[in-house]
Amino acid sequence: MFNSGLITALSKHETPFYYYDLDLLAQTLDAAKQASAELGFHVHYALKANFNERLLKHVLEAGFGADCVSGNEVKKAIDIGFDPTKIVFAGVGKSDKEITFALSQNIFAFNVESIQELHIIDQLAANQGKKASVALRINPNVDAQTHHYITTGLDENKFGIAHWELADAIEALRSCPHIELIGIHFHIGSQITDLNVFKSLCVKVNELNNWFDERGFRLKVLNVGGGLGVDYHEPDARPIPDFKSYFTVFSDFLERKAGQEVHFELGRALVSQCGSLVSRVLYVKNGIKKNFLILDAGMTELMRPALYQAYHHIQKLSPVPAGTTKDQVHYDVVGPICESSDCFGKEVQLAPSERGDLIAIRTAGAYGEVMASHYNLRNEIRYVYSDQL
C-alpha cells in the first residue's frame, strides 16, 4: 500500500494522523456488497467501528444500512443520509431519551437486550402512539474463539436475552401491545477468523427460529450480527476479507423459512484495512535490556494494543539512509503517554530507525480513531485521505 510516492506525500503532513485509503475502502465495500447481494442478504454497517463522516459517506453510497449502538449514532446515521428504514439500534443500555429519539425517527428495528427493555420500549412507543419493531437479541452461548474482551455471546456476557429467559420474553411480548416482534438477533463477538464459529451460530439460530415458529411467531428477520475478522498480521497480503466464504457459510447452514430475510452487522471487516495510524519517531532509547522507539502517537490515538494487547503490524515507512546498516533491530514501539501499557508492540523487528522516521501502524481503520481519548490533554485527531494527496 505504501509506495514511495505515497510516503513522500505523507511525509509533508504533521503527525500523528490517520491515513485513509478511500480506494481500498471502496473496493472492500464493493466486494462485500457483491457477495451479500448475490445471496439476497442485507448488510448494516456497524457505525461503532468508525463513524468518520468521509468513510460513512462511502458506506452510504455502497447502499448498506446502519447498525447503531447509541442515540447519537442513530442521529449521525440519519444526518449522513441513511434511510431510517435501514437503521437498527442495538445496545445493552439504551436510555429512555435514546429510545424516544429512535422511535421518533421510525427506525427499522430495536435489537432488544432484556425483558425489562421490552416493557420500557412498549411504554415509550405508547407515548408516541406507535408500534415499535423489535428483534430479540438472544445470547446463544456460542464461543466466538476470540479475545475474551470482545466475546459477547457466552452465558457470562452481559449482552442479549439468555436462552433460559425466552419463555418469559414471549409472555412479555404478549403483554406489550406497542411492540411488534420482527425477528431474532445475535452478535457473538468480534475479530472471528474461524468460519466454523459461524456454522455453530447457524445451528443455534436454526433451533431458535424453529422454537419461535412452534409458538406461533413467524419471524421476518434473522439478524446474525457481525464479527468477521481481518488479517492484522499481513494487511498487504489480504487487504480485502473473504466475504464470499463468510456469506456462503450462512447460505449453506442457515435454514430460512419462506420469506425470511437474513441481516448482518459488519464493522471491522469493512473498514479496518483502509486505515493506518501514521506517526513519527520522536526519540530512540537504547537501553540495556531494550531498545525503545518513542513515537508521537500513543494509546490515546489507538487504544487496541493497550486494551487487548492487540497485534497491529508496525511498518517503517522512511527509507534507511544510504550507507547505513539495514540489519533489523528489535524495538519496543511505544507512545508518549504516561502509562507503561502505552505500547504498540514489543520486540518489533524493524530496520534501524532514527528521530523523524515515519512509522505506520496498520489495520487501524476499525476501532481506532473512535476509541481515541483526550488523556494527557492530547490534540484532536488529524486525518489525511488518499484523495487529498
Residues tagged in the binding site annotation for pyridoxal 5'-phosphate: 227, 265-268, 367
Let me know if 68 is a catalytic residue.
no
Instruction: Determine if 227 is a binding residue for ligand PLP (CB under 6 A).
Output: yes
Identity of the residue, 32 or 333, whose beta carbon is nearer to ligand PLP in the bound complex:
32
Instruction: Determine if 42 is a binding residue for ligand PLP (CB under 6 A).
Output: no
180: exposed, middle or buried (C-beta count within 10 Å: 0-12, 13-18, 19+)? middle
Beta strands in 239-322 (DSSP E): 261-266, 275-286, 291-295, 314-316
Nearest-approach distance from CB 190 to ligand LYS, in angstroms: 4
Binding-site member from 190, 200, 276, 363 for ligand PLP (CB under 6 A): 190
Count the Cβ atoms, other than its own, within 10 Å of residue 157. 17
Identity of the residue, 48 or 58, whose beta carbon is nearer to ligand LYS in the bound complex:
48
Q: Which does 315 bind (CB under 5 to 8 A by kind): ligand LYS, ligand PLP, none?
A: none
Q: Is 235 helix (H, G, I), strand (E, B) or coil?
A: coil
Separation CA 361–CA 235 (nearest Å): 11
Separation CA 166–CA 175 (nearest Å): 14
One-letter amino acid of 181 = L
Annotated binding site for substrate: 268, 304, 308, 339, 367
Binding-site member from 52, 191, 272, 276 for ligand LYS (CB under 6 A): 191
Separation CA 295–CA 317 (nearest Å): 13
Nearest-approach distance from CB 370 to ligand LYS, in angstroms: 8
Annotated binding site: 227, 265-268, 304, 308, 339, 367
Stretch that binds ligand PLP, among 224-232, 290-298, 324-332, 341-349 (CB under 6 A): 224-232
One-letter amino acid of 48 = K
Instruction: Determine if 265 is a binding residue for ligand PLP (CB under 6 A).
Output: yes
Q: Which residues contact 152 (CB under 8 A, 6 or more apart)?
A: 139, 144, 159, 160, 187, 188, 189, 190
Separation CA 206–CA 142 (nearest Å): 13
Contact positions vs ligand LYS (CB under 6 A): 48, 150, 190-191, 304, 367
Contact positions vs ligand PLP (CB under 6 A): 46, 48-49, 67, 90, 187, 190, 225-228, 265-269, 366
